[in-house]
Chain A
Amino acid sequence: MEKVLTARIGKKDSRSIDTYLADGGYTGVKRVLTSGMTPEQVIEEVKKANVRGRGGAGFSAGVKWGFLPKDTKGKPIYLFCNADESEPGTFKDRLLMENDPHQLIEGMILASYAIRCRNAYIYIRGEFYDGARILERAIGEAYAKGYLGEKILGSRFSLDITVHRGAGAYICGEETGLIESIEGKRGQPRIKPPFPAVSGAFAAPTIVNNVETLCCVKHVIDRGAEWFLKIGRNEKNAGPKLFCISGHVNRPGVYEAAMGLPLKDLIFGAEYAQGMKGGKKIKAVIPGGASAPMLTAAEIDDCPLDFDGVAAKGSMLGSAAIVVINEDACIVDVAKNLSKFFSHESCGQCTPCREGTPWLYKVLTRIEAGQGRMEDIDLLARICNQMANGMTICVFADAAIAPPLSSVTKFRAEYEHHVTQKRCLVGARAAELVTV
């Protein structure tokens, strides 16, 4: 597939507005603002393209925009670009922002025009100091050239974009946690309904979209929904997509391909990750970031990497973060590591999540250390089942149970070995496998 989202990445000065303009950048904005294309028409086009959210949930951006009230009763509408990118295994938005900031800015201008937003924000995770500086500079350039600010390109449309830095909290990637955070609060997700499109930041209608989603919007406006829909396995799973692959592969990185790229191709393909490091066998693959249930080696056959394809395997595409784990790694240790993450990142307001995430981590730590009992294995599954499916305010808890529950279910023998033999089936913890 021709590169779309990453087409300019690697080019000289890809961050500067001059090269962006030279590559045909901002023509979409020019066309929309000068041709009299209405906001509704932009929404319609994005709806038609069925741009499913790239942040994790896969919800159609156009449909979400359509939820905005027609009459906002004098309230502004906000657009927040979700650049919190904190799902372990995910590093695609960082690449987009650091290398082609104007692509995102153009996507945000178009989205803001469509939803009639006057003030847009980029919520970027605190660790992306470079990303934030690069965006600030690019935004400055866009103001200077008249693509941002008052009456853009002489039209009646005005827009300000502000870069808002997070400060270390994964939960602020959840859209209502993000909204709370922008309001200057602890990033504790809100009860829904009301949904942000109806009442979000500052009690005003708010749209939250992922970086990659907004970049896709730019290309949909440039090239049309028809074009977008033709890329990918089917119209429900369409468009160019970035896949992050890491773990025990030869060439980890971000790869752009059509939605629906077979998982096996991504792992073994010559233009992708080029197979397993040291030729080891695959034990497990996490297909969608830490929140996605693990797949066994057998399950990765004929698994198209798109929303419905991975869902059919009982997991999820999530943020398209593929973590490949080889046969030498201890699955209990992997689950423990992932549980440590969730235990550290739970916001703590819901009882099952606040209490359940550290509990899972403690039990896994005990089993991994050879101090587990047989009942602990069922206990893990029971704790997990008590945390999910409506037990909490946000789906963080549903995500947190994915690693222990999927690994206990799919790799039970390894857990049992830990318990009965008081040591690891594979002989070593992942931590001890690789030394730097």
Chain B
Amino acid sequence: MSSTPVAPPPSAPPPAPPPKDTFTVSFDGKAIEVPKNLNLIDAAKLAGVDIPHFCYHPRLSVVGQCRMCLVEIEGMPKIQAACTVPLKDGLSVKTTTDKVKNARAATMEFLLINHPLDCPICDQAGECTLQDNSFGYGNQLSRFDEAKRQYPTFDRTMIGPHVVADMTRCIQCTRCIRFTHEIAGTSELTFLDRGGRTLVWTHEGQPLANDWSGCAADVCPVGALTTREFRFRSRVWYLQKTPSVCPGCNVGCNISIESRDDVVYRFLPRLNPTVNDYWLCDYGRFLSEPLNDRDVHKATVREGSAVREATVPAAVDRIAREIRSSLEGKGPGAVFFLGSAHLSNEENFLLRKIADHVGSPNRDAIVDKSRPRKVKSKTVWVEGDDAGANHQGAKDMGLSPGAGGHGLDAVIAGKASPEVILIADAAFSAIADDPEKVAALRRARFLAVAARNANALTRAADVVLPAASLAEKEGTFTNVQGRVQKFDRAFLPKPPIRAAWEHLLLLALALGFGDRSWTPHDLLRQIAAEVPDYAGIKEEELEGGRLLKKGDFAWAGRP
């Protein structure tokens, strides 16, 4: 190809500007560029303009039913429902005129005349769109002397295993119905009757029992649908929200851990369009309950036939001693390290570093398979079937047998007989509660585990370390898509409980490497420096997770 630049002939028209992929839309006189495919309500948000709404939901079909999002559009004489106005270039939207204010106040008044206003006993209070919009956009209420509508037999009723309905509070926005039609695809919910008698219900004998039923309560803008598990447990304004990742499976749904006074009250989905979008499966959502369970509070050490309490440093020292003595007697091959799909990348990484340090090729991390779980991202279904959130990460961190080393299978089958076994998470698999398998592990001279709850394995172990729960630590998981996602700590574990990475750091120090000041942040930096696929990963980028550049993840598709 010739590289000689060709001068345009003098008469040529100027090159046409590239076609815009945005529209210029103005809100209250302020023009901004917005992507063409946005809904007007979301476009307004980009411009910093809040358009109050109930029925509109970014992932559900637009129905224009609640009539809260009213705005004026230049050139249109009548008030318009913003969610139904197609975006186009030059649209001029007014949201602060008297006409708009009055119209919104009118809708608020209509919504409130039949609403029970039982906020003091309603779980939604504090996160109720009706409450918020009433403060923001309502007028003083006129007298409503008529009897309020009631649905006596449709209140405080379980309409599924998790969801409780209080139809008197319903504002008929149909979000829940559309959720079951359009996202879950199960269509359990429908409108019944019509006009002022309309209500949302299920077909008798076909309860709201899909895998994501809790999401119906999430999309409900009021307290008409709530979850049984959270009902009357806490006022939402006392809850602290901590960004985290669901421990349930390798989809790795983004969640908010909602806690108060060191107790986890619930998980809510946290928006991540590339993973779980606005959704969360019920299985994962209600793992919030068992997250508070704990029966290992202290470190214990077995001496002879007696099990005694010990301090964590003393217990770790004991492990270090046992490792050293085995190394001296039998060499590195005598120690076996088992990570877990429930541990963070940082923890699994540190475990692998310890194995490297002592020179043992015997390391592994396994995962149980679960019933397939799936959740809809913005564009595709993301599916997983690991009974743990981070098997991918554990493998990436190098927890598979090295050259000449053995994995867990070999140990259990008796093909390998390590003297010392260190299991960094006692809940790594159902194996840990299988007496036969545990007996196989127990063949080792010394068996150490970190645990939150007792099981056959902890009962058999020589040393048990009290380990923090997901809520009590921070770190990263790598999901089925190969997306590295960060989770934060909601609260500190009660001493002497510590996160597995702290136990492991103590052990590393006892074995002669590492730095007392290391935190998960430092460990992530080391991962970024040392683990090829994780090269250059930065914590600051992990908002929403970062997709690793790997081609080999088997999943439904990439957004």
The answer on a CB contact under 8 Å between A191 and B64 is yes
The answer on a CB contact under 8 Å between B106 and A355 is no
The answer on a CB contact under 8 Å between A348 and B110 is no
B21 at the A interface (CB under 8 A): no
B150 at the A interface (CB under 8 A): no
Instruction: Classify chain B: how many residues form its interface, as a range.
Output: 35 or more
**Contact for B106 among A186, A357, A363, A391, CB less than 8 A:** A391
A82 to chain B, nearest CB (A): 20
B39 to chain A, nearest CB (A): 13
Which A residues are CB-close (under 8 A) to B102? 386
Among B138-146, B322-330, B465-473, which stretch is in contact with chain A? B138-146
Report B36-79 residues with CB < 8 Å from chain A CB: 62-68, 70, 78-79
A162 at the B interface (CB under 8 A): no
Find the A residue at minimum CB distance from B102: A386
Q: Which of A169, A387, A391 has the most CB of B within 10 A?
A: A391
Which B residues are CB-close (under 8 A) to A191? 62-64, 81, 84
Measured between alpha carbons, how far is A353 from B62 in the docked complex, in Å? Answer: 19
Which B residues are CB-close (under 8 A) to A348? 172, 191, 193-198
A377 to chain B, nearest CB (A): 13
A432 at the B interface (CB under 8 A): no
B80 at the A interface (CB under 8 A): yes
A211 to chain B, nearest CB (A): 25
In the complex with contacts A351-B172, A352-B106, A391-B67 CB distance below 8 A? yes
Interface string of B172-205 (1 = CB under 8 A from A): 1010000000000000000101111110000000
The answer on a CB contact under 8 Å between B107 and A351 is yes
A169 to chain B, nearest CB (A): 7
**Contact for B110 among A344, A345, A352, A375, CB less than 8 A:** A352
The answer on a CB contact under 8 Å between A169 and B65 is no
A71 to chain B, nearest CB (A): 21
Measured between alpha carbons, how far is A154 from B515 in the docked complex, in Å? Answer: 95
The answer on a CB contact under 8 Å between A351 and B80 is no
A356 at the B interface (CB under 8 A): yes
In the complex with contacts A191-B62, A390-B79, A347-B195 CB distance below 8 A? yes
Which B residues are CB-close (under 8 A) to A347? 194-195
Interface string of A340-367 (1 = CB under 8 A from B): 0001111111111011111100110010
Which B residues are CB-close (under 8 A) to A359? 110, 113, 144, 146
A37 at the B interface (CB under 8 A): no
The answer on a CB contact under 8 Å between A351 and B68 is yes
B264 at the A interface (CB under 8 A): no
Measured between alpha carbons, how far is A343 from B80 in the docked complex, in Å? Answer: 24
**Contact for A354 among B64, B144, B198, CB less than 8 A:** B198
Q: Which of A350, A359, A382 has the most CB of B within 10 A?
A: A350
Report A317-359 residues with CB < 8 Å from chain B CB: 343-352, 354-359
Measured between alpha carbons, how far is A386 from B172 in the docked complex, in Å? Answer: 19
The answer on a CB contact under 8 Å between B64 and A379 is no
In the complex with contacts A351-B68, A355-B196, A386-B110 CB distance below 8 A? yes
The answer on a CB contact under 8 Å between A375 and B86 is no
B500 at the A interface (CB under 8 A): no
The answer on a CB contact under 8 Å between A169 and B194 is yes
Find the B residue at minimum CB distance from A372: B145
B386 at the A interface (CB under 8 A): no
The answer on a CB contact under 8 Å between B79 and A350 is no
Which A residues are CB-close (under 8 A) to B396? none
Which A residues are CB-close (under 8 A) to B144? 359
Interface string of B93-118 (1 = CB under 8 A from A): 00000000011001101110110000
Interface string of B119-152 (1 = CB under 8 A from A): 0000000000000000000000011111101000
Which B residues are CB-close (under 8 A) to A435? none
Q: Which of B103, B110, B197 has the most CB of A within 10 A?
A: B110
Which B residues are CB-close (under 8 A) to A169? 194
A35 at the B interface (CB under 8 A): no
In the complex with contacts A191-B64, A351-B65, A351-B110, A390-B143 CB distance below 8 A? no
B171 at the A interface (CB under 8 A): yes
Find the B residue at minimum CB distance from A376: B145
Which A residues are CB-close (under 8 A) to B196? 343, 346, 348, 354-355, 357-358
Which A residues are CB-close (under 8 A) to B84? 191
Find the B residue at minimum CB distance from A354: B196
A184 at the B interface (CB under 8 A): no
A193 at the B interface (CB under 8 A): yes
Interface string of A366-390 (1 = CB under 8 A from B): 1000000001000100100011011
Which B residues are CB-close (under 8 A) to A358? 149, 195-196
Which A residues are CB-close (under 8 A) to B70? 390-391
Q: What 11 additional pairs, Cβ within 8 angstroms, besides A347-B194, A352-B110, A354-B172?
A: A186-B191, A346-B196, A351-B67, A351-B111, A352-B107, A354-B110, A358-B149, A359-B110, A379-B142, A390-B80, A393-B64
**Can you list 30 A-B contacts (CB < 8 A)?**
A191-B81, A343-B195, A348-B172, A348-B193, A348-B195, A348-B197, A349-B63, A349-B65, A349-B172, A350-B66, A351-B67, A351-B110, A351-B111, A351-B171, A352-B107, A352-B110, A356-B110, A357-B196, A358-B149, A359-B110, A359-B113, A359-B144, A363-B146, A366-B145, A386-B106, A390-B78, A390-B80, A391-B67, A391-B79, A393-B64
Footprint of B on A, CB under 8 Å?
Answer: 169, 186, 191, 193, 343-352, 354-359, 362-363, 366, 375, 379, 382, 386-387, 389-393
